Amino acid sequence: MTQMTTTTTSPVLTATGVTMRFGGLTAVQSVDLNVHPGEIVGLIGPNGAGKTTFFNCLTGLYIPTEGSVAYQGTVLPPKPHLVTQAGIARTFQNIRLFANMTVLENVLVGRHTRTKEGLWSALLRGPGFKRAEAASKARAMELLEFTGLADKADHLSRNLPYGEQRKLEIARALASDPGLLLLDEPTAGMNPQETRATEELVFAIRDLGTAVLVIEHDMRFIFNLCDRVAVLVQGQKLVEGTSEIVQSDERVIAAYLGTPFEGAPGAEEAAEVEAAEAGATTGATTGAPQDETQRGTTARTEDGQ
Ligand SMILES: Nc1ncnc2c1ncn2[C@@H]1O[C@H](COP(=O)(O)OP(=O)(O)OP(=O)(O)O)[C@@H](O)[C@H]1O
Ligand SMILES: [Mg+2]
């Protein structure tokens, strides 16, 4: 009974003081992050900020130099298959599908952690795999329906357009029935229509009871989607909060634009340049104060279709 109470009240993910060093480079530094049941949390930050490295620490691909990662209150061993078995699934920034397998087979392979059969049995299609196949196949087809790929079930995954390969990665990750799904740039390379469809898909995944932690550079996508957003800059968590809070935080804007923020070294000089530019132009926006920039960002997001 105590255990049940703990399970229902604890966050799905608790990352505590996660640090990852590669030799002299600290890619992730003392990052704390919780994800609660029913949440969609965004992880943003400039290129090289440490987002993917943090995911790799969460999923056991890397053993963090310091810190711990717990799923539903239990500390995870840093082994990818044990992390998946525990209930965390992920997609990769660089798509990792079995190119010469069909769409359906790719999802079936993702299912192996939830059947008694092992990965090799699934790949070799041994007798044990065939017995379990009927149930797994039904579930896999369900997931292909869910992600909009059912009519491509028999296609080789390498023949899918890029956007559909990304969707297939999501379907495969869902096949392990995760309680938490980690998405690393799910809309990279997608057109606006595909991005919009992915947004709906992530909402639907959340509505079915899987919490989501998503890395993305597309700010409109992130701010439309996420209940909470954490910003990584040079390996450290700079800000965390609702989309509104993060969008209007001048430090976040500065980190992305690479410009100093108020109080930062060189801020006075930057203000002088800005004032000079404002004086030199007739347009109101070029030399606009920080507030204007922020409002512009918000408006663009709200206007998003
Ligand atoms: N295996 C590794 N060995 C050494 N350095 C690494 C390794 N993996 C990542 N890094 C370094 O860690 C830093 C963070 O990289 P990471 O890929 O996590 O950034 P990111 O935030 O995901 O960037 P992007 O938005 O471009 O995907 C970079 O400086 C990168 O070069
Ligand atoms: Mg990355």
* Interval between CA 37 and ligand 2 midpoint (Å): 24
- 78 and 197 part of one domain: yes
Q: Whose CA is nearest to atom 4 of ligand 1?
A: 22
Q: How confident is the model at residue 122 (pLDDT cuts 50, 70, 90)?
A: low
Q: Of 155, 177, 199, which one is at a domain's C-terminal end?
A: 177
Cβ–Cβ under 8 Å, residues 264 and 54:
no
C-alpha to C-alpha distance for 303 and 98, rounded to whole angstroms: 38
C-alpha to C-alpha distance for 11 and 300, rounded to whole angstroms: 32
Q: How many percent of the chain have pLDDT more than 70?
A: 75
Which DSSP symbol is given to 177?
A: -
Cβ–Cβ under 8 Å, residues 53 and 100:
no
Mean pLDDT of 176-201: 94
Mean pLDDT of 270-289: 53
* Interval between CA 103 and ligand 1 midpoint (Å): 30
- Output the pLDDT for position 114: 64
C-alpha to C-alpha distance for 205 and 155, rounded to whole angstroms: 24
Residue type, 236: Q
Mean pLDDT of 23-46: 96
C-alpha to C-alpha distance for 289 and 95, rounded to whole angstroms: 41
Per-residue pLDDT tens digits for 205-253:
999 999 999 999 999 999 999 999 999 999 999 999 999 999 889 888 8
Rg (CA), the chain: 22
- Output the pLDDT for position 256: 78
As a whole number, the mean pLDDT across the chain is 83
- 283 and 250 part of one domain: no
- Output the pLDDT for position 1: 35
Cβ–Cβ under 8 Å, residues 226 and 215:
no
Q: Whose CA is nearest to atom 25 of ligand 1?
A: 47
Cβ–Cβ under 8 Å, residues 17 and 199:
no
Helix (H) or strand (E) holding 287: none
- 72 and 125 part of one domain: no
- 17 and 64 part of one domain: yes
Q: Whose CA is nearest to atom 30 of ligand 1?
A: 48
Helical ranges in 72-126 per DSSP H: 80-86, 103-110, 119-124
- 71 and 18 part of one domain: yes
Mean pLDDT of 60-65: 96
> Which ligand number lies closest to the CA of residue 45?
1
Which DSSP symbol is given to 148?
A: T
Q: Give how many domains the chain has, as a whole number.
A: 3
- Output the pLDDT for position 274: 65
63 CB less than 6 Å from ligand 1?
no
- 151 and 286 part of one domain: no
Ramachandran angles phi, psi of 72, nearest 5° = 45, 45
Query: Which string of b and e fits 137-160 if b means at least 16 CB within 10 Å?
Result: bebbbebbebbebeebbeebbeeb
- 193 and 243 part of one domain: yes
Say what the alpha-carbon torsion angle 215, 221, 223, 225 is, to the nearest 10 degrees: -80
Does the pLDDT value for residue 94 go beyond 90?
Answer: no
Show Cβ contacts of residue 199 under 8 Å, excluding neighbours closer than 6 positions.
Answer: 221, 224, 225
236 CB less than 6 Å from ligand 1?
no
- 82 and 187 part of one domain: yes
Provide the residue range defining the domain that includes 81. 1-87+180-258
CB half-sphere exposure, 164, CA atoms < 13 A:
20
- Output the pLDDT for position 271: 63
What pairs with residue 69 in β-bridges? 15
- Output the pLDDT for position 261: 46
Does the pLDDT value for residue 295 go beyond 50?
Answer: no
Q: Of 161, 177, 193, which one is at a domain's C-terminal end?
A: 177
More confident residue, 302 or 283: 283
Residue 216: give its domain's CATH number: 3.40.50.300
- 247 and 284 part of one domain: no
205 CB less than 6 Å from ligand 1?
no
- 130 and 185 part of one domain: no
- 288 and 210 part of one domain: no
Query: How many other C-beta atoms are found inside a 10 Å radius of the C-beta of residue 119?
Result: 11
Comparing CA positions, the residue from 221, 215, 176 lying closest to residue 201 is 221
110 CB less than 6 Å from ligand 1?
no
- Token digits of residue 270: 């930057």
Comparing CA positions, the residue from 182, 10, 171 lying closest to residue 83 is 182
- 200 and 62 part of one domain: yes
- Output the pLDDT for position 134: 81
Per-residue CA distances from 252 to 53, 69, 285 (Å):
20, 26, 20
